Amino acid sequence: MYVGALPNISMEALVQFNIPGDRYAISSIRLFPGKYHALPCLLTCMSSTDRKLLHVTTILEYLCNEFKHDLNTDLITGNYNAQTNQMDIKARFCDLKNGIMLEFQDIYLNSEVLNPNQLKADKSDDGFSIAQTITIYYLPHQMTSVSELCKSFYKMTVLSPEPSITFTLHMVCRNQDGYYLSCITIKKPLITDLALYYGNDFVSVHEKIIKSLNTLENK
């Protein structure tokens, strides 16, 4: 028998389970045993892994299509936004049935992202709903399935921009009073498409320059 199984414990006892310091209104550890009479195994998917940010809306669409999940059955926690007259969802708990539950935690809107997967934005200003963490609660027989599920989630991501790299040059300048040093800060540009910035003809020129710089005589 699964070591986390709790077949003979009453519902009153099950709802006493909690995680010390749990800051959410309803503990997931209570909901899972309440349905399955067993403590869940846990698998956590985190944003910021290799700059990848988990896009909530795309993942929810995937769950609806692949698992026939009904979003109206989700447990939602949010804050009322007086500016938009809408609720900003902060956490979402989903039951996928058959021993798998998901919890989207610390959801926030982020428009400072790169979108190589061409995902659809949630707001007109290219804002994307991001989950800092997705925790998967599951029974042991679903271990392979939830591993594949987490793997799929990392394909439904936007990217946080690379940290900008800056350099400082000390330039020797001269005016009517003589010579002086002037510091110039140069930021490395983020160029994802050379042709877009410099035209299609520059791509081949760029490749020749890189090839030339990599030769022994130029190192």
What value does the mean pLDDT of the chain take?
81
**pLDDT tier, 24 (very low <50, low <70, confident <90, very high otherwise):** very low
What is the Cα Rg of the chain in Å? 26
**pLDDT tier, 190 (very low <50, low <70, confident <90, very high otherwise):** low
Burial degree of 184 (CB within 10 A; 0-12, 13-18, 19+): exposed
Whether residue 180 has pLDDT greater than 70: yes
State mean pLDDT over 7-20. 65
**pLDDT tier, 145 (very low <50, low <70, confident <90, very high otherwise):** very high
Model pLDDT for residues 44-74, shown as the tens digit of each residue: 999 877 889 999 999 999 999 999 999 999 9
Model pLDDT for residues 94-142, shown as the tens digit of each residue: 999 899 999 999 999 998 888 989 999 987 677 899 999 999 999 999 9
Which of 127, 120, 124, 74 has the alpha carbon at shortest distance from 96? 74
User: Model-level pTM greater than 0.75?
Assistant: no
Stronger pLDDT, 210 or 72, i.e. the higher one: 72
> Residues 79, 68: contact at Cβ < 8 Å?
no
Stronger pLDDT, 179 or 40, i.e. the higher one: 40
Structure tokens at 96: 């996928």
